[in-house]
Amino acid sequence: MQTFRHSSGRPDVAGFYDPRTSSVQYVVSDPATRRCAIIDPVLDFDEKSGATATHHADELLDYVASQGLEVEWILDTHPHADHFSAAQYLKEKTGAPTAIGSYVTKVQALWKELYHWPDFPADGRQWDTLFSEGDTFRVGEIDGHVMFSPGHTLASITYVIGDAAFVHDTLFQPDGGTARADFPGGNAHKLWDSIQAILALPDDTRLFTGHDYMPGDREPEWESTVRSQRETNIHLCNGQTQEGYVAMRNERDASLPMPKLILPSLQINIRGGALPEPEENGRRYLKIPLDALPGAAWDDARA
């Protein structure tokens, strides 16, 4: 079901690729203390049948158990638009606290209006910790800190843990470029600034991305370095300027259809990964607003 790859360093990083959503989940561990964090876990959802499952999250738990690890954190980098977060499920299974960036409240307020949820509490209470720029934490004995990285979304953050940085959907692999900035609250100028801050980290910092779309049908990859991104990323190299980048990003984004799961995913992910409460008949329901994202490109399957 997944492609798994281990990267040794401090911390150890195990990446798990989900081909259904092209997402990468991470188990980040301190080899000295056997404590770990889980980053951007996926809750399985089949949009055709409406079925949910925990196959991918359970594989993370199986890995944690097989390595004798203890989960200290369940971390999301932002409210995802292309998959459901398994953070709530993993909290129930492990007891570990959940965390996300503090500006998630701005994303909640935006989507609260789109979903017409007047009573929804858009104050971030759905997570145990809301991180701000410069906040520090630890995974075992390894120091971590938070970088605010807006642009792709209003709330995106980067987790820097030891010599590894988890850059979510800001950068892709060098042959894939960078993330889009046209979601509600996105901004290409802010995305450029966030990328430059990440590229100011030490050259040998390991960078781990949130997705890989396998350009040229290569095998999935998700690890690079600051140096390789700066020198070879197709959207950033060859003397790219902020003005040129923003123009390229805006033109490219205008041609991209929205992710197929954006409307289902955000109503789960602004709730911290919690599914809607069952109604009187015992079933849970998603609420899909029509014409909520005007101007979005249609995909090639339109009639």
**What is each CA distance from 232 to 17, 178, 229, in whole angstroms?**
23, 12, 5
Look at the block and give the residue holding tokens 């790859």. Answer: 5
Q: Evaluate whether residue 114 is within a structural domain.
A: yes
What are the pLDDT digits (tens) for 18-67?
999 999 999 999 999 999 999 999 999 999 999 999 999 999 999 999 99
Question: Is residue 191, in this structure, part of any structural domain at all?
Answer: yes
Q: Which residues contact 180 (CB under 8 A, 6 or more apart)?
A: 152, 186, 249, 252, 253, 256
- Distance of alpha carbon 180 from alpha carbon 45, whole angstroms: 23
Examine residue 78 and state whether it is found in any structural domain, yes or no.
yes
Question: How many angstroms separate the CA atoms of 149 and 187, rounded?
Answer: 11
CATH number assigned to the domain comprising residue 187: 3.60.15.10
- What is the tens place of the pLDDT at every residue in 222-233? 999 999 999 999
Asked whether residue 296 is domain-assigned, the answer is no
What H or E segment, with its residue span, contains residue 159? strand 157-161
CB 87 within 8 A of CB 80: no
In a domain, 287, yes or no: no
| Structural domain contains residue 274 | no
The yes-or-no verdict on residue 97 having pLDDT over 80 is yes
In a domain, 297, yes or no: no
What are 52's two structure tokens?
Answer: 């949910």
What pLDDT, in 10s, does the model give residues 166-177? Answer: 998 999 999 999
- The pLDDT of 87-114, averaged and rounded, is 97
- The model's pTM is 0.95
Domain assignment of residue 286, yes or no: no
State mean pLDDT over 199-206.
97
What's the total number of domains in the chain?
1
Domain assignment of residue 107, given as a range: 3-269
